[in-house]
Chain A
Amino acid sequence: MISLHRNGVLGSAWWRRLGVMTTKEIRQLLRDPILLGFMAFVFTANIYLQGSSVSMQLNRAAMVVLDADHSAQSRELIHRFRPPYFRLDGEIGSAREAIGLLDRGQVMLALDIPPGFGEAIQRGETTAVQLQVDATHPMPAYLATSYAAQIVGQFSLAAALEREGLSIESLDELPTVVNDQRAWFNPNQKDTWFMPISELLEGITLFAILLPAAAMVKEKERGTVEQLLVSPLTPFQIMFPKVLAMTLVILLGASLSLFAILGPVFEVPMRGSLSLFYIVTTLYIFTNAGIGLYIATVARNLAQVGLLSMLVLGPILLLSGLWTPPEAMPVWMRWATLASPMRHFVDLGYGILLKGAGLDVLWDSVLAIALLGVLILALGMRRFRRQFS
């Protein structure tokens, strides 16, 4: 009974040991300049680079035109393909030339206007133009098709009204539907608001899994874990300080990105409560640390940790909804995303930082992370205990 009191959860020695171990872990981390340097890189320069240069939008897609008509109408249509979405790379003489340019990847689009295009319009017929799209990149191919369809649609409407003796200005006097489109949360659909948050969430995930796993395996590899085990520390007192130290360092890295990059450089609005963001991030790091510790019990050396983390990180990133939102996945995979802590963290990250949502909307994601965390940490602890006692 006495020993339970002195060394058990109730005693002050218990807390002191936790403190000592946490200090040890922090010192150990701070003595690894390469690792710290790369953490700094991932949380600052990497986010800056990705945010400033990666664009998923159609940006001046190169286009050539094969104009067999050379009428006023064909010229009018061609000149509607303008920056920022399209860039005219001149006219070509034959269809073979177009295929050659597309094969070499020098242009993305080729517009083919048939002979008699202008006359057909004047006669009141429906005529067609053909657009060849390099679909090796499906995303810009979709976007290019969509913008081209809008351009041709508007041209067609204007031409149709004109030949009926009406004008495009009188559209209000005609039974048409005007659809006014607005984008919420990111009104100008800036990639510089989407990408940096995405990179921040990825960075947090990467280090929250990798650091605890590596720290644990390092002790195993060097045999220092035996020293820890013969000490009066419980498995919890060995593992928890590691998680705590990593959490502190990762939160520091995240703060660096938020206040040095996301805010001042990219002007991400950060509409929601930052303290809520910090709380859920801490919770999320704990959950991921559970995954890391589990990896550490399976792996025997750091090389294995590296590969196992990859094997685990791949699905986690994929199921997170960052690259493909859950609604675009097959149904069984959509269900699988619910088991990935990162999926809930992504909902929280964008929900808080971009959408300004609070706990009233996001409580279910927080709950999911907490439940998954308890489950994963319990499993990790059990394996650790079994392995070492």
Chain B
Amino acid sequence: MKMRRVLAVAHKEWREIVRDRLFFALAFVVSPALMLIFGYGLSLDVERVPFAIVDQDRSALSRDYAYAFIGSRYFDFKGYAASDRELEPLLEDNTIRAAIIIPPGFHKALRAGRAAQVQTVVDGTIPSRAQTTKGYVAAINGHFSTEMLAQHLSRVRGLSADEARARTQAVRLEVRYLYNQSAKSIWSLAPKLIMLVMIFVSPLLTAVGIVREKETGSIYNIYASTVSRGEFLLGKLAPYVAVAIGNVLVLWLIATLHYGAPFKGAALFFFLASVLFVICTTGIGLLVSLLVRNQLAAVVVTLVATMIPALDYSGFLMPVEAMGAEGSLEARLLPAMYYTNIVVGSFLKGVGLEVLWVDLLVLAGYTVALFVAGYLLFSKRPRA
């Protein structure tokens, strides 16, 4: 292994990246652009759910009940509908996601001291959002019910309003969100976006870069030269790793400065772990490049092998623990989850090597395995 030859290959590769101006720009523009776009548009917060009300009771009390929902920040009132039949096209068209139907007799039942029935219809298309919406409805309904009960007690037993209210509520739930105090989805997503972007940008550049040599035939120059396998791979991949490290720094700045995500961990630990992750994903690109013959296949295979699983099996949107056995297995087989743990630990939890050493170890093992496989598969005498 001669350093001079490695540098020569690296230099040649770097020139090729820089000369292709669009490729160069894309290599540095794609990641921050995606980070900005996703950061603004990807929201997991369920707020402003558009809904309609069918009020068939038309009493002061039914209006009070409706206002409990209209006034909530979780709901966005779209208007009253005349009957339940009008709701179906509105739900089909996504104009509303929920509707509350107050049947006649609502007021009468409550005033007579009996339970009143109402119905809620929720658009079940997006299951998690439907569940959350149902939770909001139940909470607002529970609050209204307790208030009714308190008024009833105060009337029947002659208690003051405050005392009656205290009596109807035995236990309160206080919730404390850890690591992300306001449960803002952007604080959680911005750091994880670093993972999502980095998992495919560097393998994509790497795979395409190597396959291009195969496709144009310029790789025969390498086959015929004195450059050894190891020297070629090292020199070829180094520039892509450098580009990826530059990208990680830019993304880190966007996450912390632009989105204001807290970074509680150790910067040096995070940086070194990121370098390891970037080398690992470059190894994925190397392996892909050895398995496919044209650039289009390289693009498709890389995306299918990196970005698609990273979206769903890394803990990006949902914790790995919540997945079924298959999903959980797939998550453990891919590097994305381990880096996600490192990102979340470093940003939100402020933990370091003492907790994350397992993830780091797995990533290191992964990287070594990828490069050994790449080294063995790469041959200067390919079978035609």
**Would B323 and A54 count as touching, CB distance under 8 A?**
yes
CA distance A355 to B151 in the complex (A): 42
B81 CB, nearest partner CB in chain A, Å:
14
Instruction: Confirm or deny: A373 has a beta carbon within 8 angstroms of a beta carbon on chain B.
Output: no
Would B318 and A50 count as touching, CB distance under 8 A?
no
Per-residue A-contact encoding for B115-129, CB less than 8 Å = 1, 0 else: 111111111111111
- The residues of B that contact A138 with a CB separation of less than 8 Å are 44-45, 180, 183-185, 188
B327 contact set on A, CB distance < 8 A: 49, 52-55
Per-position binary interface string of chain B over residues 30-54, scored 1 when its CB falls under 8 Å from any chain A CB and 0 otherwise: 1001100110111111111110000
Q: Is the interface of B mostly helix, strand, loop or mixed?
A: helix
Which of the four size classes fits the interface of chain A? 35 or more
A153 and B299 contact, Cβ closer than 8 Å, known pairs A133-B177, A191-B127: no
- Write the nearest CB–CB distance from B141 to chain A, whole angstroms: 4
Q: Are B137 and A181 in contact, with the CB atoms below 8 A?
A: yes
Is A125 a contact of B166 with CB atoms below 8 Å?
yes
Query: B190-215 vs A: 1/0 string, CB under 8 Å?
Result: 00000000001100110011001000
A15-23, A157-165, A255-263, A279-287 - interface stretch: A157-165
Q: Are A126 and B169 in contact (CB under 8 A)?
A: yes
Query: Assuming A55-B324, A137-B318, A150-B138, is B148 touching A182 (CB within 8 A)?
Result: no
CB pair A55 B318 closer than 8 Å: yes
Q: Say yes or no for A59: interface residue by CB 8 A criterion.
A: yes
Which residues of B are found within 8 Å of A60, using beta-carbon distances?
322
* Measured CA separation A357–B95 after assembly (Å): 13
What residues of A have a CB within 8 angstroms of the CB of B26 in the complex?
304, 307-308, 311
Residues of A within 8 A of B117 (CB): 177-178, 180
Contact A218 B296 (CB under 8 A): yes
A324 at the interface (CB under 8 A from B): yes
A103-B349 contact, Cβ under 8 Å, with A127-B172, A325-B126: yes
The answer to whether A103 touches B119, judged by C-beta atoms less than 8 angstroms apart, is no
Name B167's contact: one of A53, A54, A164 (CB within 8 Å): A164
Q: Give how many B residues have a beta carbon under 8 Å from the other chain's beta carbons.
A: 133
Chain A CB within 8 A of B134 CB: yes
CA distance A182 to B29 in the complex (A): 46
Q: Evaluate contact between B124 and A328: CB separation under 8 angstroms.
A: no
Q: Does B355 contact A104, Cβ atoms closer than 8 Å?
A: yes
Q: Is the CB of A174 within 8 A of B142?
A: no
Q: A102 is contacted by which of B41, B48, B178, B321 (Cβ under 8 Å)?
A: B178
Pick the contact of A136: B45, B116, B188 (CB < 8 A).
Answer: B188
Contact B297 A34 (CB under 8 A): yes
**Which of A38, A137, A298, A362 has the most chain B CB atoms inside 10 A of its CB?**
A137
Contact A143 B318 (CB under 8 A): no
> How many whole Å from B375's CB to the nearest CB in chain A?
23
Asked if A56 and B127 sit within 8 Å, CB to CB, the answer is yes
Please state if A128 and B173 are interface contacts (CB–CB under 8 Å): yes
Complex contacts, A241 vs chain B, CB 8 Å: none
Q: Given A38-B297, A183-B134, are A361 and B318 also a contact pair (CB < 8 Å)?
A: no
Q: Give CA–CA (A121, B156) in the complex, Å.
A: 21
Contact of A176 among B23, B29, B145, B188 (CB under 8 A): B145
Interface flag for A384 (CB, 8 Å) = no
Q: Are B152 and A150 in contact (CB under 8 A)?
A: no
Please tell me which one of the listed residues B34, B294, B298, B312 contacts residue A54 in the complex, with CB atoms under 8 A apart: B312
Least CB separation from A125: chain B residue: B166
> What sequence of 0s and 1s flags, for each residue 170-182 of chain B, a beta carbon within 8 Å of any chain A beta carbon?
1111111111110
- Which residues of chain B in 285-332 are interfacial with respect to chain A, using CB atoms and an 8 Å cutoff? 292-304, 308, 312-313, 315, 317-319, 321-328, 330
- Nearest A residue to B307 via CB reads A310
Per the bound structure, the CA–CA distance linking A357 and B123 in Å amounts to: 13
Is B71 an interface residue when CB atoms closer than 8 A count as contact?
no
Asked if B136 is an interface residue, CB under 8 A from chain A, the answer is yes
The minimal Cβ–Cβ distance linking A245 to chain B, given in whole angstroms, is 15
Q: A140-B319, A155-B171 are in contact. Are A135 and B119 (CB under 8 A)?
A: no
What is the chain A residue whose CB lies nearest that of B341?
A105
Contact: A303 with B209, CB < 8 Å?
A: yes
The answer to whether A306 touches B127 (Cβ under 8 A) is no
A210 at the interface (CB under 8 A from B): yes
| A90 touches B (CB below 8 Å) | no
Q: Chain A residues with Cβ under 8 A from B383's Cβ?
A: none
Structural contact, B173 and A194, CB atoms closer than 8 A: no
B178 A133 Cβ-Cβ under 8 A:
yes
Say whether B43 contacts A328, CB under 8 Å.
yes
Tell me, rounded to whole Å, the shortest Cβ–Cβ distance linking A224 to chain B.
14
Q: Identify A129's interface contact among B37, B171, B183, CB under 8 A.
A: B171
Q: Which of B86-94, B221-229, B231-239, B363-371 contacts A (4 or more CB under 8 A)?
A: B86-94
Our pick among A42, A136, A146, A194 for the contact of B348 (Cβ within 8 Å) is A136
Contact check, A179 vs B120: say whether CB atoms are below 8 A apart: yes
Taking the complex as formed, is B250 at the interface, i.e. its CB lies under 8 A from any CB of chain A? Answer: no
Interface contact A177-B134, CB-CB below 8 Å: no
Most B-side CB within 10 Å, residue of A49, A102, A163? A49
Q: Is the C-beta of B27 less than 8 angstroms from some C-beta in chain A?
A: yes
Q: Do the beta carbons of A59 and B122 come within 8 Å of each other?
A: no
Is A134 within 8 A of B148, CB to CB?
A: no
Pick the residue among A149, A187, A360 that contacts B173 (CB under 8 A). A149
Contacts A310-B204, A324-B43; A174 near B319 (Cβ below 8 A): no
Q: Is there contact, CB below 8 Å, between B299 and A159? A: no
| Chain A residues with CB below 8 A from B315, complex form | 137
Which of A1-9, A246-254, A314-322 contacts its partner?
A: A314-322
Contact A190/B30 with A180-B119, A306-B295, A324-B42 known, Cβ cut-off 8 Å: no
Further contacts, 16 of them, CB under 8 A, given A129-B171, A303-B23:
A52-B326, A53-B330, A126-B169, A129-B172, A130-B174, A136-B348, A138-B188, A139-B44, A150-B138, A153-B173, A171-B115, A191-B127, A191-B128, A303-B209, A304-B26, A327-B48
A-B contact pairs, 6 of them (CB 8 A): A129-B171, A136-B188, A153-B139, A160-B149, A180-B117, A180-B119
Spell out B's residues near A (CB within 8 Å): 20, 22-23, 26-27, 29-30, 33-34, 37-38, 40-50, 65, 76, 89, 91-94, 97, 106, 109-132, 134-139, 141-142, 144-146, 148-149, 151-153, 166-181, 183-185, 188, 200-201, 204-205, 208-209, 212, 292-304, 308, 312-313, 315, 317-319, 321-328, 330, 341, 344, 348-349, 351, 355
4 nearest CB pairs, A to B? A53-B327, A146-B135, A183-B124, A186-B124
Q: Which residue numbers of A lie inside 8 Å of B, CB to CB?
A: 32, 34-35, 38, 41-42, 46, 49-50, 52-62, 77, 102-105, 108, 121, 124-143, 145-150, 152-153, 155-157, 159-160, 163-164, 171-191, 193-194, 206, 210, 214, 218, 298-311, 314-315, 318-319, 323-330, 333, 347, 350-351, 354-357, 360-362
